[in-house]
Structure 1
């Protein structure tokens, strides 16, 4: 499904431009503003929402017919190699060139290498890494399903339970301490996207059953509710109000595109070279934020802002390609062989 790769790189570029032209300047992390472009790119944060739907689809698909160990090795070799390189690179850039604006301590760096720094209360080295803790918790849900045994019925029941628990956790009817405890695995702010992706994963295998369609529709309704609420939080944080109509339209587009991909309606648009672009998504996402801000702050005044924006964006894409080819691909193979020498694992 090469269209998934196209969707992923579009989402990554959207997030990058959101940070460079809107949230970075508005949040005081970047010294160069782009008020006109920011009117459009302020919606780029919704690229993360697209990531979570794609993740729900791809991770469940990759988990089918795998043992728990094979699944864990597959996920570890997928997420850690590029992440270790990105954390190290970002920490070095921030310490050497950040002028004290993005401090990184040794303990913080080491905790970040585990990707479990969030539950330890240790700040992320880069602002974008918060999504990785969400992904790890999602992997825990899929691992639990593998342990139970993946079947259409079991997955469907689990998804309804997950969606229902998400609604209950976010409703305010439960004691606050219980809600916080449940929300660690449930992730009420994002569960609907993971559930939608997993429900859509059932479509190519079993067809669009009534349960899978209803799951996607229920997830879509929750996504609209949460997305418009999150838009209000963005407005409070940055003093600029996103249009609810645009947010609704973009969330709707994410669901429609994913539905088109999983039902084969977009197949004629697929191109094999999309896979090369999709491979840059994860490294680009990991690298772009603080390193880009450092470049903007260092080079401001010497280069025309829009030319600098294009130059920094291009540089980050080249860096992502280098990280993918030089570090991610070879190190992932080494990690797989070390963790499971006799297994031939698909990424």
Structure 2
């Protein structure tokens, strides 16, 4: 909603938009592969994929605008204090599609996490994920808690145990509500990291990533009917196809497109649409929105095509630094916008033109995200990385007392 320092060989991402360096390019040869399946090779390219940065920022922005303009009519009335028909009579239905920005986040995350983990040890992978997620997440929780507990906001005031559970980022398996609704995307990301860490531990190769994609696809399809809540909780069926397709796209980028990889992408696209369009069976109940389901198919298909264009190298000449800067703002913008923005609009939305209020609020949140990323997330993550890399966190047992 995916979300590192300059020493890392590649970028990272979350829903969450997860990856400050998300788009640093990687390895890879595009040479034709013969009978042998390609294995991991040393990185030979270090350029960033600016298109991924820009795409991730657009995904975050679409989610922001969804929360401010496109939510269900009852929620919009709570935020703005009047019926949505009097605020955004025409635009509301279109901005409802903004919530699909999360699916784009997951698609990019599969690409970028696979890219950033290549050639790393399990310990390096663990440190990179922890220091990428938790510093900004904890800072966002501090800000959100102030809004939720001390401001007159439309969210209510949850009990203190909700705050403590959310600090672990494990509120989903603990059965506790999210302090901010946008935090739900962090659990699918964590599950992806947890299971992918097994492949990192074995050593990333073309074959192992392909097998991992196949096993996760089977698990995502079987989980809903298996009657095993733990399996469903771990594999996240509605979200899984996007991560899987993202990894297949990365393999195309690192090596070359093959019928096998296109098959994984096509299967992921079909499964993703199944879960998206299943009434009450996926993440979104689109019957509460007015847009037609045909538009949903179109939007998701466009997302897959955009990441395909990056994987095929069609955007390699796009290197505008502004996209890179925008990419670094994605994670803080995603985490901070809901509690702050909705509260601001709730109190001041009737004092100016609604679109002017939305524009000013979004601009203010982007500025705040820059400050948080530059002066909080980056230095804290750097210090945490040094700390976790020190001997104090080695798995070797300490010397016994004498």
- What is the aligned partner in structure 2 of residue 276 from structure 1? 325
Give the alignment of 1:158-197 within 5 angstroms.
158-170=212-224, 172=225, 174=226, 176=227, 178=228, 180-197=229-246
Q: Taking structure 2 as the reference length, what is the TM-score of the superposition?
A: 0.79
Counterpart contact for 1:63–1:142, Cα < 8 Å? no
- What is the aligned partner in structure 1 of residue 286 from structure 2? 235
CA distance in 1, matches of 2:266, 2:153: 48
Q: Which runs of 5+ in 2 are unaligned?
A: 1-48, 392-402
Secondary structure, in 3 states, of the residue corresponding to 1:268? coil
Q: Would you say 1:260 and 2:317 are equivalent positions?
A: no
Work out which structure has the larger RCO, using CA pairs closer than 8 Å and 6 or more positions apart in sequence. 1
Flag the 1:290–1:24 CA change in 2: closer, same or farther, 3 A: farther
Flag the 1:18–1:154 CA change in 2: closer, same or farther, 3 A: same
CA distance in 2, matches of 1:101, 1:198: 36
Question: Whose helix fraction is larger, Structure 1's or Structure 2's?
Answer: 1
Task: Give the 4+ runs in structure 1 shifted more than 4 A.
Answer: 230-233
1:73: Cα distance to partner? 0.3
CA distance in 2, matches of 1:99, 1:264: 46
CA distance in 2, matches of 1:24, 1:242: 12
Counterpart contact for 1:22–1:35, Cα < 8 Å? no
CA distance in 2, matches of 1:165, 1:117: 23
Secondary structure, in 3 states, of the residue corresponding to 1:273? helix
RMSD of aligned alpha carbons: 1.8
- What is the aligned partner in structure 1 of residue 185 from structure 2? 131
Q: Which runs of 5+ in 1 are unaligned?
A: 343-347
- What is the aligned partner in structure 1 of residue 247 from structure 2? 198
Counterpart contact for 1:24–1:30, Cα < 8 Å? no
- What is the aligned partner in structure 2 of residue 84 from structure 1? 138
Alignment equivalent of 2:203, drawn from 128, 134, 149: 149
Larger-gyration structure (1/2): 2
- What is the aligned partner in structure 2 of residue 5 from structure 1? 53
1:318: Cα distance to partner? 1.1
Alignment equivalent of 1:208, drawn from 252, 257, 269: 257
Stretch moving more, 97-106 or 2-11: 97-106
